[in-house]
C-alpha cells in the first residue's frame, strides 16, 4: 500500500482548502477524473466515490482509494442485493438507490458530488436533509446549489453528472477532457 502524506481529501479540503488556488483544485479533481477514467476502462465500478475516499499525496496529487464496495462487471452493470445497509445515500445515483443498479454512470453521479465537495471546500452535501429527504428531493428534480467559489463551467459539469437518466451523464473521459479545458482557461 502506498503511503500518502496529505491524508484523505475531505479532511484536506476542510483544513487546507481555503489556501489552495483554483488551478490546484481543478488539477486535483482532474486527477480524480483520470483515475475514474482508468477504472471505467477496466470495467470497474467504485460505488463509493467521495472526498473521504480519495487520498492526497505530498505534491497534492489526488488518488482514488477505498475499493471496499467496488465491483468488476463484464456488462458494466452491477446489481446489488441485500438492501441498502451501508449505502452512502447522499452520494449515490437514483438508479442505484431505487433498483440497486450500479454502473460507471452511477459513479459519474457520485463524481458530481465529489466536485461539489471540492468546490465547497469540504462541506457536507444536503446538510439539512436526512437520507430519506435527500432521496425524495432528488427524485423531484432537486439538486445541490452551486458552491460560492465554484466556476460556472464546473457547476455546469456537476449538473451534467446529476442527469436523472444514466445515459445522459458524461463519461469519465469526457469529464476529464472538460476539466482539462476549464483548467487551461484558469491560468
- pLDDT confidence bin for 187, thresholds 50/70/90: low
Q: Each residue of 104-130: pLDDT tens digit?
A: 999 999 999 999 999 999 999 999 999
For CA atoms 31, 32, 33, 39, the dihedral sign is: positive
Q: Write out the catalytic residue numbers.
A: 48
CA 87 → CA 63, 114, 141, distances in Å?
Answer: 22, 16, 21
- Domains observed in the chain: 7-185 (1.10.510.10)
Per residue in 63-102, pLDDT (tens digit) is 998 745 444 444 444 445 455 457 899 999 999 999 999 9
Q: How confident is the prediction for the chain on average, in pLDDT?
A: 90
Region of 175 please: left (phi>0), alpha (psi -120 to 50) or beta.
alpha
Report yes or no on whether pTM surpasses 0.85: yes
Give the span between the Cα atoms of 108 and 170, in whole angstroms: 7
Tracing cell 446538510 back to the chain, one arrives at 127
- Please, are residues 50 and 72 in contact by the beta-carbon 8 Å criterion? no
Amino acid at each position: 500500500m502506498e503511503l500518502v502524506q496529505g491524508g484523505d481529501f475531505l479532511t484536506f479540503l476542510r483544513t487546507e482548502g481555503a489556501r489552495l488556488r483554483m488551478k490546484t483544485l481543478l488539477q486535483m479533481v482532474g486527477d480524480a477524473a483520470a483515475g475514474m477514467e482508468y477504472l471505467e476502462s477496466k470495467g470497474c465500478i467504485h460505488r463509493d466515490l467521495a472526498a473521504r475516499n480519495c487520498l492526497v499525496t505530498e505534491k497534492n496529487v489526488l488518488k482514488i482509494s477505498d475499493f471496499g464496495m467496488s465491483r468488476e462487471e463484464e456488462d458494466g452493470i452491477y446489481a446489488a442485493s441485500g438492501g441498502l445497509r451501508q449505502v452512502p445515500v447522499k452520494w449515490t445515483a437514483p438508479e442505484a438507490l431505487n433498483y440497486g443498479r450500479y454502473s460507471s454512470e452511477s459513479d459519474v453521479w457520485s463524481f458530481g458530488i465529489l466536485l461539489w465537495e471540492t468546490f465547497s471546500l469540504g462541506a457536507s452535501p444536503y446538510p439539512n436533509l436526512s437520507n430519506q429527504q435527500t432521496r425524495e428531493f432528488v427524485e423531484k428534480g432537486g439538486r445541490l446549489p452551486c458552491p460560492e467559489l465554484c466556476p460556472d463551467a464546473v457547476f455546469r459539469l456537476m449538473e451534467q453528472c446529476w442527469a436523472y437518466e444514466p445515459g445522459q451523464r458524461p463519461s469519465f473521459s469526457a469529464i476529464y477532457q472538460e476539466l482539462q479545458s476549464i483548467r487551461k482557461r484558469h491560468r
